Structure 1
């Protein structure tokens, strides 16, 4: 098969046994370093993608794609608004809610909480809380019974269990014979949910919408309505459409604005990790420089003979660039195989290591998730492989240029 002379000689040099075994060792270190860097880059990028995806999914299991509230506080026209919202083709569900802050007390333990009043039959249209119930169900919330469903971490903090009566302390006050007192109401714990997101599981409590309206003095009113879409990424577009369609007095927000700082922080962290690990690949790639410089020194006589036979400096330069690129490509391919394998199996590997070492790498209290997720994207794999190849190519330029400047007479003088 026809192969250009430069590629043929470059490949022969790559496979040939060298008089100086140290050069072979440095070549191996270069390949190994590039492979390790590429593996780390692909794995970290996949974990960061999975982290972002898992957090987004976890947040939107409880939060909503879009929320409409009233500029005046309470919304009285929600029953007329819901049918209008359901006419939009992007909308799959709409449900009212009442949101308020309070404190829960049980057994001498007091904890801050976020109360959400819901309609049990409508809530599954806009959230996945019904699927996250570990004890009881949303249907346990019956108007007038003053039942409450707690997040698992909130219940654990209070030490409350099913059937226990907890006291809800609200910001509203009542005037009594002894003065102004906060409004208190006893609720019966009817269920618990576990979303896997500590931010919600540690503070959120659900009550029936009618009970919340009575407790927070909002007769016939709600705090707003929550909207679920077929595609969560249509939320900004729908929000803009609603701003144009709805009358003044409504405030429209979507999940991209409610959590914008958080997701920007994740993107920034992903970029920083990419830059840092790319520097590791760059250091490994530039080991090729030292390898090829030593190869050029080792092959000075061969270069001189090739030049004497009529080979141009550009062809000599190409020979050593081929040799360096082969080292870089081989290291990048090993790294891609290792990175893809590790990224696709990290959700199995990490729990096994945690169990073997009896440690916990991901603390749900800190990271909002309790496992290390992975979402490998082939675009990231191609990007990492391409950057590794480019760095390897750049690293070959200087030693190849030195080889091209070799003077035949000078190189053969002492041979």
Structure 2
């Protein structure tokens, strides 16, 4: 009996598949099916590709922050010295560093000297930021010791007249490893006639590419002792550069770090430095997902159009099937399967194309860059030197779930219309 037929029986799949393979006389239905299929494929591909690029950009941006910068910077609150000048220097920096290293989760605490100077070579000048750090501590910075590209030998950094510079600084000055550059500071030697600029030549022993434009373009590393002498900071440090095992938990460590550093200590975490940008990324991620979800919805609505045309063309068949004993539920499932097949096939093709795009994004982007004449990706604007993509299972599953969910939902309405069609009315004019 028809009433005992189990849902989604084999004959329902057979009828649905037969309807999807429309005859030539019903070419309009076939065209709408293809339009729906291509639309869902492209929408899912765009959604997965966008989510992959979004995840890759965020991961690469955070990695460059954590790999080449302090996770926490500890510095002293300002106080006025005997000469009436504001002083933030750390006199007992070695003791402070030892106390901070003892905090659970801290993997490095390095005293640092910082100063902004001008670098000059061959008549070319560039404003740079000097980081005075010991050779041992420099070799613990991931993006410096293991950069995207490197020239020279970091092991030579320990000499007094040896420095390491970013690749952007090297390009700006037109130098390579082994060349010498002049470092010029306005706060130099104090004489009876005032303070004269300090100029000293250093050999470039190491050129690194950290992958972050603002680092590669401005950063210069100088041995800590030499930086103390050059910047008139003998016996003191400007700040403490701290790296921790779990940077994402830095807020939970703040109290322990402050207690270890001392009563004058203040903290500046990587979240403080880049928090606004990360929040902007989160907002952009949400907006992009909503916009692309609308794109998937528009593509899925084509299924509704195709099914409405199919129901209209198959009115006689529906009447015959109903008179043969098919229930409303069986007819509904037949036309639901017609739309579901389109959604499933389109989603599968979209996942395949989206994953391939994310995997081969570098050659694809290279072709686009070549066709456009270059300059599509400007690292000075975007902060990193290439377009990254990172496929994540959660992103793919969210795209699949969204596409299939919308495809199934929009299929229900024309399927119900077919199921409620009166067989007598459907056959009256046949």
TM-score for both structures, normalised by structure 2: 0.87
Q: Distance in 2 between matches of 1:160 and 1:182?
A: 27
Structure 2 residue aligned with 1:55: 61
Structure 1 residue aligned with 2:253: 238
Structure 2 residue aligned with 1:407: 422
Q: Distance in 1 between matches of 2:11 and 2:298?
A: 28
Aligned pairs (5 A) from 1:61-210 = 61-72=67-78, 73-132=88-147, 133-137=150-154, 139-143=156-160, 145=161, 147-162=162-177, 164-172=179-187, 176=191, 180-191=194-205, 192-210=207-225
**CA root-mean-square deviation:** 2.6
1:9 aligns with 2:15: no
- Pair 149,5 (structure 1): closer, same or farther in 2 beyond 3 Å: closer
Tell me the CA shift for residue 367 of structure 1.
Answer: 2.3
Structure 2 residue aligned with 1:386: 401
Structure 1 residue aligned with 2:81: none
Unaligned runs of 5+ in 1: none
Contact conserved, 1:42 with 1:339, CA < 8 A, in 2? Answer: yes
What is the DSSP-based 3-state SS (H/G/I as helix, E as strand, rest coil) of the residue aligned with 1:369? coil
Structure 1 residue aligned with 2:85: none
Q: Distance in 2 between matches of 1:166 and 1:339?
A: 48
Q: Distance in 1 between matches of 2:169 and 2:8?
A: 73
What is the DSSP-based 3-state SS (H/G/I as helix, E as strand, rest coil) of the residue aligned with 2:136? coil
Q: Distance in 2 between matches of 1:245 and 1:205?
A: 29
Unaligned runs of 5+ in 2: 79-87
TM-score for both structures, normalised by structure 1: 0.89
Q: Distance in 1 between matches of 2:398 and 2:8?
A: 31
Aligned pairs (5 A) from 1:360-375 = 361-375=376-390
Q: State which of 41, 44, 52 in structure 2 corresponds to 1:38.
A: 44
Tell me the CA shift for residue 74 of structure 1.
Answer: 0.7
1:25 aligns with 2:34: no
Q: Distance in 1 between matches of 2:367 and 2:421?
A: 56
Aligned pairs (5 A) from 1:233-272 = 233-272=248-287
Structure 2 residue aligned with 1:295: 310
- Pair 336,123 (structure 1): closer, same or farther in 2 beyond 3 Å: same
Tell me the CA shift for residue 396 of structure 1.
Answer: 1.2
Q: Distance in 2 between matches of 1:263 and 1:11?
A: 51
Q: Distance in 2 between matches of 1:156 and 1:126?
A: 22
Q: Distance in 1 between matches of 2:196 and 2:328?
A: 89
What is the DSSP-based 3-state SS (H/G/I as helix, E as strand, rest coil) of the residue aligned with 1:259? helix
- Pair 349,274 (structure 1): closer, same or farther in 2 beyond 3 Å: same
Q: Distance in 2 between matches of 1:240 and 1:382?
A: 39
Tell me the CA shift for residue 3 of structure 1.
Answer: 5.4
Task: For residues 15-37 of structure 1, give each alpha carbon's deviation from its aligned partner in whole angstroms, at most 9, with x where no partner exists.
Answer: 33434111011101111111111
Q: State which of 346, 350, 359 in structure 2 corresponds to 1:331.
A: 346
Residues paired across the two proteins, number: 411
Q: Distance in 1 between matches of 2:158 and 2:416?
A: 78
Tell me the CA shift for residue 291 of structure 1.
Answer: 0.3
Contact conserved, 2:100 with 2:260, CA < 8 A, in 1? Answer: no
